[in-house]
Amino acid sequence: MASANLNIMIKAARKAGRSLVKDFREVENLQVSVKGAGDFVSRADREAERIIKEELRTARPNYGWIGEETGEEAGEDPTRRWIVDPLDGTTNFLHGLPHWAVSIALEHKGEIVASVVFDAAKDELFTAERGDGAFLNDRRIRVSGRRQMIESIFATGVPFAGRGTLPATLRDLSRLMPLTAGVRRWGAASLDLAYVATGRYEGYWERGIKSWDVAAGILLVKEAGGFVESIRPDQSPVESGSIVAANPQLFDEFAGLVRQRD
């Protein structure tokens, strides 16, 4: 049984998802004008955040907030805040690729306690609450049971336009690709974590990532039986800007490779 807070989050994610699906159908028509499409998607993104904020704020006016588009706002209750990415996978959305999601997490005293990642284009709703397991459309999910790197698929994000973390990511790729069944780069961190939680792939890592991209997905992986840490082991995976997640059988080997310095 979902808690009241999770139900509020699901309602907000579905409402924003409906608005985004409508806009996504328009994107193809706008591809002729790249600037037009870019502006349109920024508006769609901001509108989705507005919808989510209105829903969550109406239901829980005293919680804090951090959202990709509107930044951080303290709440009367300093122990609870929403961490929201209204449109994770913006570049995919802009290019008409149906791989993007609404991501909403609830943090309480520094811990993520409830999560929703909603892939509205595929109608896949991933949810989790601390201690209650993780679900895809109400069906319980588990991380994969694979034990061999060579049979396993891993996902990452490659920084666009050669941002600062590109050399480290290329080093990771050259180390991992010969040892695995493949590396995927699908462009939506929240879904990468949701896919680790469902066992679609065995692990995911990324550098240069924001809290709103990963907060919800982190709880999905943990509640599905997986491990998640920052690439720097002493830091928080939500806040540190780097993340490594995998099933328990492969976590140490995989994280060891990602953490290796040369």
CB of 77 to ligand LIP, least distance (A): 26
Residue 262 assigned to a binding site: no
CB of 130 to ligand LIP, least distance (A): 23
CB of 45 to ligand LIP, least distance (A): 8
* Interface ranges with ligand LIP (CB under 6 A): 68, 85, 88-90, 157, 187-189, 209-210, 213
Residue closer to ligand LIP, measured from CB, 89 or 237: 89
DSSP 65-132: EEETTTEEE--SEEEEEEEEEEEE-HHHHHTT-S--EEEEEEEETTEEEEEEEEETTTTEEEEEETTS
Residue closer to ligand LIP, measured from CB, 151 or 177: 177
CB 202 within 8 A of CB 152: yes
CB 2 within 8 A of CB 115: no
Which amino acid appears at position 252 of this protein?
D
Residue 213 assigned to a binding site: yes
Residue 119 assigned to a binding site: no
CB 225 within 8 A of CB 213: no
Q: Report the residue closest to ligand LIP, judged by CB.
A: 157
CB 101 within 8 A of CB 119: yes
CB of 227 to ligand LIP, least distance (A): 20
**Residue list, annotated binding site for Mg(2+):** 68, 85, 87-88, 213
Q: Extract the annotated binding site.
A: 68, 85, 87-88, 213
